[in-house]
Chain A
Amino acid sequence: MEYNILNRRESLTVFTEVEFVFDGVSETIEIAHFEPKSEEEIVQNIKNRYESEILKRSLE
């Protein structure tokens, strides 16, 4: 079999399992971070998710 690898690209998604507390109730949420550039970006994504989960609960 002849073959020629022309290109190789790897992609990384980091998954963090995060425990949040909403109205005194603990909840664990898995958050996906696509190709994070830094730990700071991961932390910011966690904060973003917390904000959107608060908003979601306020609209329910």
Chain B
Amino acid sequence: MATRYLIPGGDGNYNSTSNWSATDGGVSGATFPVAADDIIINANSLDAPITVNVVSACRSFNASNYTGTWTISNNFSVNGTAATGNITLSSGMTITGSASFIKVPTSTTGVITSNGVVFNCNFIFQTTATTTTTITGAMQVDGNITWPLNTAGSTNTINGSTLSIGGDIIHNSPVAGTATIEMIGSTTATITQVATRYLFNNLIINKTGILNINNLYWGTTSRTLTYTSGIVNHTGTLFATASTTLNTNGMTWNILNPAGTISFTSIFNADTISKASGSFNFQGTHPFTINNLSLSSATSIIFANSLTYTINQSLLAYMTTSGTFRAVSSTGCNLDVAPTATIALYRGTFLYINARTKTLRVYKPVSFTNTQNMLSISGNINQYSSTI
């Protein structure tokens, strides 16, 4: 274990002893840093550039008073455990390259302090177990960010400031924490996940380009998913956990699979809201506008008071025996179902719903002659009332 200081006058290749000294401001000739070594870059480095010309590693990376360029041509790992594996960048320095800057926290804590420096390369949180990393000051990665497959399914916790990502999120193990994840930039990007490996953090979509999402497993209690800008092509299902907030007016989801209570703080647009079994509670300050609502084996479907929910194509509500389809209270809500939409209701008690545009109605005697599949009544019909 040693400390290596970047010094000027070398050839600029990471694995050359011409760039490294064993003392601050000392002479060259020290072995280049390896996984157990600490790298220090400071004013005595005189902004000497370094190219990571071979796969390389160090224990910690500490740069200050340095405005030189660190070129990631091969993967570069910072391997230290706990507080020994911190990354501190110097304001004004450049990190760029086609390979990956890797944080390998093998223990529980580590700190990344960007000081405004952008990782203009890919970044990997290389974890094999439960880890916690703290971002001090905003962190930005213009390339892809990866949380590799963690066979244990252990959670990577990212706390602190916002982590902004210009490229893809490749997300194969759970990610949690108080840091906000923000998708930015004009580069077409994707979010790729292993199923059920949730992204638990607050998430912002704030791109000037295109974001392609298939299935997205997102959220935990009190987290918010916000759409600010970008073209979002959602082709799969948003699996949103209970007690989360969706603030995504301006884009349209394909399918929402909600768990429990979901709050909308702007109009929620989707083709379909669908889930088999559970209780569903749509709250918040705004309603949804969707094509299809399909909730089966539902113990309750609850809507916020005083809002108008719009369904354009089909409403399928298959309730349990004691299931209820209702607004929160007698204040009630409006349910606008398109006149051409299909409605299928199975069991359930309906409370405080004002269906303003379409009702299931039989008006005066009706005859069916030479028809097929016109009407199916599988239960009792209560005494006729002109208003239900």
Chain A residues packing against B (C-beta within 8 Å)? 9, 11, 13, 15, 29-35, 45, 48-49, 51-53, 55-56, 59
Contacts and interface: CB of A to CB of B under 8 A. Distances in A.
Residue among A45, A48, A59 with the most chain B CB within 10 A? Answer: A48
A55 B222 contact: no
B247 interface: yes
Contacts of B250: 29-32, 49
Interface stretch (B122-130, B205-213, B298-306): B205-213
Contact of A34 (B208, B224, B231): B224
B230 interface: yes
A23 B322 CA distance: 54
Interface residues of B, number: 23
A48 to B, nearest CB: 4
Given A48-B206, A52-B207, A13 B229 contact: no
A32 B231 contact: no
A56 B184 CA distance: 16
A13 B208 contact: no
B204 interface: yes
Interface of B: 180, 184, 186, 202, 204, 206-210, 222, 224, 226-231, 247, 249-250, 265-266
Q: What are the nearest 5 A-B pairs in CB distance?
A: A49-B229, A48-B229, A51-B208, A34-B226, A52-B229
Nearest to A29: B250
Contacts of A56: 231
A32 B222 contact: no
Given A49-B250, A52-B207, 11 more contacts: A11-B202, A13-B224, A32-B247, A32-B250, A32-B265, A32-B266, A33-B228, A35-B180, A35-B202, A48-B208, A51-B186
A29 B209 CA distance: 18
B231 A11 contact: no
